[in-house]
Amino acid sequence: MSADRPERARADAPRPAGEGWPGGAVWDGAGVPGPRPDAGQDPAQAPAPGPLAGVRVVELGHMIAGPFATLLLSYFGAEVIKVESRHRMDGFRRREAATNYLTRAFGDFNRNKRSLTLNLQQPRGRELLGRLLARSDALLENFSARVLPQWGLDWPTLHRRYPRLVVVRMQGLGATGPHRDFVTFGPSILALTGFTYLWNAPGTDEVVGSQTAHADYIAGVHAAVALMAGLHHRARTGEGLHVDLSQAEATAALLGPAYLEWLLLGREARPVGNTRREYAPGGCYRCAGEDEWCVITVRTEAEWEALVRATGCTEWALDPRFRDRTQRTLHRQALDAALEAWTSRRPAAEVVRLLRAAGVPAGQVKKGSELLADPHLRARGFIHHVDHPAFRPISYPGAPVRLVGHEAVTRRPAPTLGQDTEAVLRDVLGLSAEEIERYRAEEVLV
């Protein structure tokens, strides 16, 4: 991740009256932020209270990475306007049979957002986007690197026109470098960074990989943090910020130990499956029942002694192969077999209950249905239930971060394509009904 930071304004420089301020306020020249000029919008569309209340983010995003970043921002109170068109819509809108291009997958990553359809292939569409950016705090996009420059929206141009705008670009391999134009997808980034190679059992020839696009989520979190850093920078200097985020680099940053193994020891990190090389026992163990498993990790001698007591397998304490951590690591296979002989006779929930009560780190490997019914997650409000006219009520994961005093909620379900076009053009850009109809007739709003 890199950032282009203009140095024209000092942190203590005066802010001219009428210029935008963090949180979407207007600096009145007397040291007091006032409301945004379009603050009289429909209360139903107003941002919910939160640390980012009043911040407006324009999203040119699709699939997971970009939309997940702005979903996180919406939980903190930001207003997010998603710009699409029938010619270039979010790929998740087409993933399954849909009503008004609304699918369950799209509904997950695009809650709390407004949908504005603009044909950005047309100059008039780009003109309306420019007017929206002039009234916004940030732009976030995850198209391929060449798209925005093709529309005349490269960083120098954006900064010249909107000097206070925070711009986050999050391409697969970044916006610069010889491979900047490569189009990537979550699985390809996992492969490029080494995740796919390491995500396997030892001694297995076939590549397994993951069924979850971890890279998209990782990049989305980094993008949300970078955008908020940009808003803080603007508050200090009065200047916008350009963030160049490589989804591959954000993902690779989590694999430091694997890279260091080569750099420091001259050997390749190898797949180790579910085991933790430094701990024994430490892995995933079969339990009673079909496809039932639990994870157990013993880190200290105290936890080892607690494991022996909890299982009642006192013979382990007398076995010289298991007398200390070094010996247990050397005889990992024998120890894992002995432990799995004990876990496989008991339900996973019982194993976890017994070991946790004894102070041994343990967890049940849960399926999706079990997570949705998990009483702890429900008690914390992590599961959000969303009603939508396009399909029956559905449950989604909630915010991964809880800001105490600012409840992260799903304020509205994901929008149908163009659902808020007229409202945004009217309330944010101040267009009349006649102007909106003229744009519609010219096929700018498709």
* C-alpha to C-alpha distance for 61 and 275, rounded to whole angstroms: 37
Phi/psi of residue 327, each to 5°?
Answer: -65, -40
Q: Between the CA of residue 403 and those of 48, 56, 181, 400, what are the distances in Å?
A: 14, 20, 38, 10
* C-alpha to C-alpha distance for 130 and 158, rounded to whole angstroms: 9
Please state whether beta strands 166-169 and 383-388 pair in parallel, antiparallel, or not at all (unpaired): unpaired
Please state whether beta strands 282-286 and 241-244 pair in parallel, antiparallel, or not at all (unpaired): unpaired
Of 90, 108, 137, 216, which is the active-site residue?
216
Half-sphere exposure of 112 (CA within 13 A, CB side): 28
Q: Between the CA of residue 310 and those of 12, 331, 345, 351, 356, what are the distances in Å?
A: 62, 21, 14, 9, 9
Please choose, from the candidates 82, 21, 79, the residue with its C-alpha nearest in 3D space to the C-alpha of residue 50: 79
Catalytic residue list contains 38: no
* First-to-last C-alpha distance (Å) of the chain: 34
* C-alpha to C-alpha distance for 396 and 372, rounded to whole angstroms: 9
Residue 319, judged by CB atoms within 10 A of its CB (0-12, 13-18, 19+), counts as middle
Residues designated catalytic = 216
